[in-house]
Amino acid sequence: MTYLFIILYAITLVYFALSERVKKFIWLLAIQGIILFGIVFYSLNEIEIFDFIFILLETIIVKSLLIPSFLNKVRKHNQLKREDEPSIPVFYSIIVVVISILISFLLSNYLNDIHLHTQYFTISFASVIFGIYFIIIHKNIYSHLVGYLIIENGIFLLSLAVGNVMPLMVNLAVLLDVFMGVLVLGIFINRIGDTFNSVKLDQISKLKD
Amino acid sequence: MLSIIFIIISAIFIPGVIAKIKSKIGGRRMPSVFQPLFDIIRLFKKGAIYSPTTSIIFKIAPIIYFSSVLMAAFFVPMAGQQGLLSFDVDFVFFAYLLALGKFMMIISAMDTGSGFEGMGANREALYSMLVEPAFFVLVGTLALFTQNSSFQDLYVNLHTSTQLSIIIGIAALYVITYISMVENSRMPIDDPKTHLELTMVHEVMILDNSGFDLAIIHIASWLKFAIYGTIISNFVVQSSWPIYIQIVSYLLIQMGYASTIGILESFSARNKMGKNPQWIIMLSAIAVVTFLTTLIITQKIILN
């Protein structure tokens, strides 16, 4: 069952590359949150009630409800354009995401180590690479935030790949980091949006003391 | 033999059902299911008119297009029933038969010397080229999964019993359905009802064809619909079922397929022309992900 969610996660990455609408990014992030919950839920051998609540809080509540609704708020506040066209044509982005997924699957096959759960490593590596690529091709701070969240989802999966049990403290730290990151960046975007009436990165280069 | 008979029967009904569904949703009076058939009979009664700029290519292209599509239909099995012809790796032959027909239509469109038709031919060639990897990766995936390489054996041995094979089944269905939309020039790639030559893809290529030629081009398109509908139904209909259940479920799936096209075309808008290539390459991307899933199932990629 874990594989089902891993494959679905890979398909969401393809859709991230395909979509140009800001609203779709938010939807896809929410879906990724649910998929992450599925992956963790089916990978835990025995679930204690505390662990279950924590996972539920981290994936469903924060990743697929709180963060997307906050992002939506930021989108509305700044009156972002419906479409955020990347600087590289989508056609090439799809090829890049497919290559990154292929490389990460082949790399996992090659790594085949007993200390590493390669099934999670496959998609986490692809997710991190694609997150970085997503940040590079978009010129909008808002999309950079989305890219950051994709990378963060990849890191979440990486924590599953390297640990035999869910490292609670690590996850708690990552969760706090994401929450603060999104909150601070969101406020930052709002302030820039209020000052320049745009969240394009070109505007920031004009900043002076 | 049964497969080709049923492909022809469903080819007669599919365009009528699509038209019926579309007019029902659009709030218009529904035409008869046989209306497209009457139109074809009317076209057969007329003679063809050829422009003086065209050559022999324009005259023979519709016949070759029709015969290549009919030939391709011979290879498609229906549920457990064997196709009329079958050999190893026949899906490659199938794909290239369809490509031959398309190639003839493309050069015949360019033969007319019209700028519009050249543009349509250009688009058609691009989209067919882009959709080809999706088809081959998908059929390759199924071949790897079932360890068989002919259309017939591929479907007979396709059992979606485990959870991962269900993903393959669903992804394959999704990709094949949209490949059929691209191949048949329907939504969201092309709108068959568009009236502007600049926004046409397939329709602009056959603007100069008339009478008998136009009729057989239409029949070939219907056959293509039925072929893809049969390929889709093969994912669902199992060869172990009794024959009458196979036939009933086959016909139901064909009607469901036609209704889906009608509903899709009534409610969805066409893609922007510039966004079509990326949309088509997305199908290949999903096919590649399906391929990776098969590699995991067949343990070509070992993960722990």
Residue A83 φ/ψ, nearest 5 degrees: -115, 140
Question: What domain count does chain A have?
Answer: 1
Of B275, B279, B289, the CB nearest to A11: B289
Q: Is the dihedral of CA B115, B119, B124, B125 positive or negative?
A: positive
B132 to chain A, closest Cα gap in Å:
15
Q: Give me the pLDDT at residue A161, please.
A: 79
Give the chain A residue nearest B293 (alpha carbons): A7
Phi, psi for A78 (deg, rounded to 5): -90, 5
Return the pLDDT at B155.
77
- Count the Cβ atoms, other than its own, within 10 Å of residue B221: 23
Q: Which residue of B has its CA nearest to A43?
A: B304
How close B163 comes to chain A (CA, Å)?
Answer: 7
Neighbours of A164 (CB within 10 A): 9
Which of B275, B278, B303 faces A108 most closely, judged by CB atoms?
Answer: B303
Q: What is the pLDDT of residue B152?
A: 78
Find, among B225, B162, B200, the residue nearest to B16 by Cα.
B225
Residues of chain B short of pLDDT 70, as ranges, are: 159-163
pLDDT for B161: 66
Q: How confident is the model at residue A27 (pLDDT cuts 50, 70, 90)?
A: very high
Q: How confident is the model at residue A134 (pLDDT cuts 50, 70, 90)?
A: very high
Å between A131 CA and nearest CA of chain B: 18
Expressed in angstroms, the distance from the first to the final Cα of chain A is 55
Rounded (10°) angle between helices A141-162 and A168-196: 180
Q: Is the pLDDT of residue A133 over 90?
A: yes
For the stretch A142-180, pLDDT in tens is: 888 889 889 988 888 888 777 665 566 777 777 777 777
Separation in Å, CA A184 to CA A25, A26, A176, A189: 19, 18, 12, 9
Q: CA of B153: how far to CAs of B76, B162, B294, in Å? A: 11, 19, 17
Using one digit for the tens of pLDDT, what is the confidence trace for B48-67? Answer: 888 888 899 999 999 999 99
What is chain A's mean pLDDT, rounded?
82
Q: What is residue B288's predicted lDDT score, i.e. its pLDDT?
A: 92
What ipTM goes with this model? 0.82
> What is the reported pLDDT for B38?
92
Q: CB B163 to CB A4 under 8 A?
A: yes
Q: Give the residue, B152 or A128, on which the prediction is more confident.
A: A128
At A57-105, the pLDDT tens digits run 888 888 888 888 888 888 888 777 777 778 888 889 999 999 999 999 8
Neighboring chain B residues of A86 at a CB cutoff of 8 Å: none
**pLDDT value for A13:** 92
SS3 A140: strand
Q: Could you state, in order of their start, the residue ranges of all structural domains in chain B?
A: 2-297
- Angle value at C-alpha A155, between A149 and A158, nearest 5 degrees: 150
Nearest residue in B to A122, CA atom: B303
What range defines the domain where residue A173 resides?
2-206
Q: What percent of chain A shows pLDDT beyond 70?
A: 89
Q: Are A3 and B296 an interchain contact pair (Cβ–Cβ within 8 Å)? A: yes
pLDDT at B62: 92
Instruction: Give me the residue from B163, B293, B296 closest to A1, CB to CB.
Output: B163
For B276, what's the count of Cα atoms within 13 Å in the CB-facing half-sphere? 28
Sign of the dihedral defined by the CA atoms of residues B153, B157, B158, B164, in that order = negative
B279 or A51, which is more confident? B279
Q: What is the pLDDT of residue B63?
A: 93
pLDDT for res A201: 67
Contacts 24+ apart (CB under 8 A), B125-128: B126/B277, B127/B182, B127/B189, B127/B201, B127/B276, B127/B277, B127/B280, B128/B99, B128/B102, B128/B182, B128/B183
Contact check, Cβ <8 Å, A105/B163: no
